[in-house]
Amino acid sequence: MITLHGFAASNYYNVVKHVLLYKQIPFEEHLIFSGGDEWLEISPVGKVPALTTSDGRHLSETTVICDYLEETYPERPLYPTDAGERAAVRQIMKISELYLELPARRFLAYAFSGKGAPEPVKAEVRHVVNRGVGALSRLCQFSPWIAGEEMTMADIYVHYVNKIVGSVGSEQLDWDILAQIPGMKEWNRTLRDAAITREVEAGRVANEPAFQAYIQAFIASGKSAVK
Ligand SMILES: N[C@@H](CCC(=O)N[C@@H](CS)C(=O)NCC(=O)O)C(=O)O
């Protein structure tokens, strides 16, 4: 049996959970926020999510796990068979991670402690996100799926990227980032209403009190920023 380690308030965790549910792969969830050496044996950077495969291998990094699941469970494929089309799907995922998700995440620690980010941080994030917005405006098809006629991994991935970008990113920058990408908000609503997305969201809501308690304890301990 596959084990998915992490917590459901994490959008990265929810990408993997969505893929598991979509492919109808049996799995169990192991709730963990952080840990010591035992956790680092599973997730070497200590990040969420991690996955233990049915033959006992530990994997981390969301897109690596997604690729493993696709290759091991090819039923209900989430990548095109054509190499060029597959690369185009991965290009959308990579750009959304590097130029939307990661810069927006720089605001998380400020948001958790109820503060606005300093202006220089905001200016830097705005610049990077602006480039991501430009790139995705060129690349995303929404016809009806993000990379064209078939649903792909990029539909799942970008939907959860948008959770961070459309909340903490937009709030801190006072800028409706997703509205800058024509078709993005409408597509996002379609994804949000899908049965699997609703199941994943229910898991996130159920995990929220435990997550908030963890964050508050973390802030009170005076440790460095949660990312
Ligand atoms: N590059 C990693 C990023 C995962 C990540 O940042 N996870 C967050 C939760 S959403 C985390 O583990 N944060 C805790 C920490 O940084 O210690 C991936 O793609 O899986």
Evaluate whether residue 200 is within a structural domain. Answer: no
Of 60, 76, 92, which one is at a domain's C-terminal end? Answer: 76
Residue-wise pLDDT for 144-202, tens only, equals 999 999 999 999 999 999 999 999 999 999 999 999 999 999 999 999 999 999 999 99
User: Residues near 83 by Cβ (< 8 Å), separated by ≥ 6?
Assistant: none
Domain span holding position 59: 2-76
Residue-wise pLDDT for 3-25, tens only, equals 999 999 999 999 999 999 999 99
Closest CA to 110 of 13, 33, 219: 219
pLDDT at 202: 98
CA of 46 to the centre of ligand 1 (A): 8
Structural domain count, the chain: 2
C-alpha neighbours within 13 Å on the C-beta side of residue 112: 21
Evaluate whether residue 226 is within a structural domain. Answer: no
Residues 90 and 157 placed together within one structural domain of the fold:
yes
Evaluate whether residue 216 is within a structural domain. Answer: no
Residues 72 and 87 placed together within one structural domain of the fold:
no
- Does residue 31 contact residue 39 with C-beta atoms inside 8 Å? no
Evaluate whether residue 211 is within a structural domain. Answer: no
Residues 53 and 92 placed together within one structural domain of the fold:
no
Ligand 1 neighbourhood includes 227 CB (under 6 angstroms):
yes
* DSSP at 148: B
pLDDT at 186: 97
> Which residue's CA lies nearest to atom 1 of ligand 1?
61
